[in-house]
Amino acid sequence: MFLRLVGLSYLIAFVSLGSQILGLIGSRGILPAQQLLDAARDGRGRLMRDIKHATVEMKQAVAGMQARFRSAHDDMARSQQRMLRGFVSGLRATVAGVRKEFAAELAGARARVQQS
């Protein structure tokens, strides 16, 4: 008997809720559903336009960053090549000087050996 009374109270509650929802959201309610759906569609359209605009801006920003990166990379590569050429040139000069000194010392040693 108790469960039947609980079931009856649920039935009354849902019937009451149905009539209240129609009064609130129905076509002639406080918040007409068509206006709500139109507002949602407009909001979605604005959101999609904003996303599209932001995407275009982001693509342009990324393209600019890539161009600046390439330019900076090229400058850095040229600078590194100049530094490497300078290093190699200095190394060659140092090696040539060491070879001359070695040749002079070797000639001096041979001359001392021949004199002895």
The alpha-carbon radius of gyration of the chain (Å, integer) is 45
For residue 2, the model assigns a pLDDT of 87
pLDDT tens digits for 30-58?
666 677 778 888 888 888 999 999 999 99
For residue 67, pLDDT beyond 90: yes
pLDDT tens digits for 71-106?
999 999 999 999 999 999 999 999 999 999 999 999
Residue 98 to residue 86: CA distance in whole angstroms: 18
For residue 35, the model assigns a pLDDT of 74
For residue 26, the model assigns a pLDDT of 63
For residue 101, the model assigns a pLDDT of 95
Alpha-carbon torsion 59, 60, 61, 65, what sign? Answer: positive
For residue 44, the model assigns a pLDDT of 86
Tokens of 77: 């590569």
For residue 27, the model assigns a pLDDT of 67
Residue 42 to residue 35: CA distance in whole angstroms: 10
For residue 94, the model assigns a pLDDT of 96
Q: Is 69 exposed, middle or buried (0-12, 13-18, 19+ CB in 10 A)?
A: exposed
